Chains A and B, each alone.
Chain A
Amino acid sequence: MTPGWLLRGVRLYGEAPVDLLIKDGVIAEVGSGLRAHGADVFDVGGLVALPGLVDLHTHLREPGREDAETVTSGSRAAALGGFTAVHAMANTDPVADTAGVVEQVWRLGRETGLVDVAPVGAVTVGLGGSQLAELGAMADSAARVRMFSDDGHCVSDPALMRRALEYVKAFGGVIAQHAEEHRLTEGAQMNEGVHSARLGLTGWPAAAEEAIIARDVLLAEHVGSRLHVCHVSTAGSVELLRWAKGRGVDVTAEVTPHHLLLTDELAATYDPVYKVNPPLRTACDVEALRAGLADGTIDAVATDHAPHAVEDKECEWGAARPGMLGLQQALSIVQLTMVDTGRLDWRGVADRMSARPARIGGTVRDGHGGDLVAGAPANLLLLDPAVTSVVDPAELASRSRNTPYAGRELPGRVVATFLRGVPTVLDGKAQA
């Protein structure tokens, strides 16, 4: 065990500076003028401390596409972004639809040790949408899976969706739905609207997302189950969620950083780095998503970090795979779009990027998403919100380079991340 860390002058949630002592994996003391007791003193005057971030939606690509990302490289990107836990999506090769695969991913995460990797299990066998995967076996495995998703594919069959919602109640699971009515999105390349009309790219209508969300909240209400909606992208979806929550439906939702910032006119470059599913939407949608996140209609920011090999992006728009990197810039984007605009304070950020996602995905049990108080597990990050930097894809920890933020100047820098008291990032550098 290290002798611990004394963070001097840290601003918890951006509030008044205090000292914070990390010892034996927990926050030992919070107060002013703390004595080091032999701990390494880290004079962090002015830095903001937040609870370690939890990402409900990460593609780590291992097993299967280790050329695009591995559990190790993705963990590094996550730690550098201030995350202490990430949920690894099931659309790997082989698909994470058995206890064996989810345990493999979970173990790889443990071995890397930079973040807790919580595997997401597939809802249906092979993401095929027709037969339930052995959800219970994944729940009972060492990975203790609680979140299930066919992400990348929608669980389209309403009867199957209903059964899945019901079935996971037995072990406190949640179905995270990729809401896309696929019959409305055949060949779709971008948001359907003014820009798709002009660019000659097949449109992905907002209604294709909203129709599934509407159906699923009704199903969840009917069977009394918990539903989580992945990457909400439209103003209409926010309205539906507000309505459902108003009725008491047990539904939660996430929004990606890119949907909080970027709009569909970027497709005019035909650079597939802007191709993502669901697609970038309009400025009106962006506004509604920010408002929804601010008022809590949307519970969480989740990255949908989706690394892709160069050849899957250095090609025609139509041939490119959808997805963007997100882990390393997520907090910067949230600062830019929500904090610097006055829509969320840092406590709000902690709620949407740590506390709520930890509750939704079940990583609370591993000590994630807690408050920064004495006695809590020392999962936290230190952020310098005052600095800005220009994103250079070559400097990212991911194995892939498909960031939509290349060349953009973004605010905020994660200086350090601690996972159970152990620094995974120090001075902006990953420790493994």
Chain B
Amino acid sequence: MGAAPDSSDPLGSATRRPLLDADALARTVDRMAHQILEKTAGAHNTVLIGIPTRGATLARRLAARMRAFEGVDVPVGILDTTLYRDDLRLRAVRALEETTEPPGGITDRLVVLVDDVLYSGRTVRAALDALRELGRPRAVQLAVLVDRGHRELPIRADFVGKNIPTAPEEQVRVLLAEVDGENAVVIISGGPS
């Protein structure tokens, strides 16, 4: 019955090309925090919903930075989208991750979905479906650390940390200390996808 292993594994024979180092990554997160504060008028009635695994970590970091900058406490939730995916049958069964509703729920609030990498858009589509089951937000916006292109659905991010043009056979990995023991964004090519 085993599920697919987490893909945060060591990279084997693949070549790894750094895109952002730890400092650059931190600056990018700071900038995104500022942008969200600005566009949401001080994050009033706003919640951050992270998509596991690294989207959830990023959401917590963003909330921490927003608290540091403006003293606001933005509720953070976690939303596993696995059960809503439309591509489950293409891969071995995936382990589910945590889902936690933000304190106060999402109804009538502005939801900012947070993920690490925006690629085909299918995760975000699944997240929109999953979100609907949690309540009816006033609006939903999307924040991603990296937009690597190659969309398969009409989905666009409202906040982008960095646009990185990639080839489809490459992989973009966001490494976060809480999960991976280091902070960086790298491109992997030649390894197992």
- The reply, when asked whether chain A contacts chain B directly with Cβ atoms under 8 A, is no
Q: List residues of chain A with CB under 8 Å of any chain B CB.
A: none
